[in-house]
Amino acid sequence: MNLEFRCYLVTSGTDRSTVDTAAQAARAGAGMVQVRAKKTSAAQLLQLTVAVAEAVAEANPQTRVVVNDRVDIAMAARQRGAAVHGVHLGQEDLPVTDARTLLGGEAIIGLSAGTLEQVRQADQYRKIIDYLGVGPFRPTPTKDSGREPLGLTGYPRIVTATQLPVIAIGDVTPQDIGELAGTGIAGVALVRSIMQAAQPGRVVHDVLAAWPPERPGSSRQS
What secondary structure does DSSP assign to 29-51, as a single string? T-SEEEE--TTS-HHHHHHHHHH
The answer to whether the annotation marks 219 as part of a ligand binding site is no
Q: What confidence score (pLDDT) does residue 213 get? A: 83
The pLDDT of residue 16 is: 97
Q: Is 93 annotated as a binding residue?
A: yes
Is the dihedral angle over the CA atoms 205, 173, 48, 90 positive or is it negative?
positive
What is the pLDDT at residue 146?
66
Kindly give the parts of the chain with pLDDT less than 50.
Answer: 215-222
Return the sign of the alpha-carbon dihedral for residues 181, 85, 67, 104.
negative
- Check if the beta carbon of residue 178 is closer than 8 Å to that of residue 138: no
Asked whether residue 37 is marked as a ligand-binding residue, the answer is: yes
| Stated pTM of the model | 0.93
Beta strands 166-169 and 108-112: pairing type?
unpaired
Instruction: Give the per-residue pLDDT at 145.
Output: 60
On whether 68 is known to bind a ligand per the annotation, the reply is: yes
Does residue 127 have a known ligand-binding role?
no
27 is in an annotated binding site: no
Tell me whether residue 192 is annotated as binding.
Answer: no
143 is in an annotated binding site: yes
**Helical axes 16-28 vs 42-59, angle rounded to 10°:** 30
Q: Compute the half-sphere exposure of residue 221: CA atoms within 13 Å on the CB side of its CA.
A: 0
Say how far apart CA 94 and CA 88 lie, in whole Å.
Answer: 10
Helix, strand or coil, per DSSP, at residue 8 = strand
SS3 112: strand
List pLDDT tens digits, range 125-160.
999 999 999 999 997 765 556 678 999 999 999 999
Question: Can you give the pLDDT at residue 144?
Answer: 58
Report which DSSP code applies to 6: S
Domains annotated on the chain, with CATH: 2-217 (3.20.20.70)
Is 142 annotated in some ligand binding site?
yes
Model pLDDT, residue 143 = 58
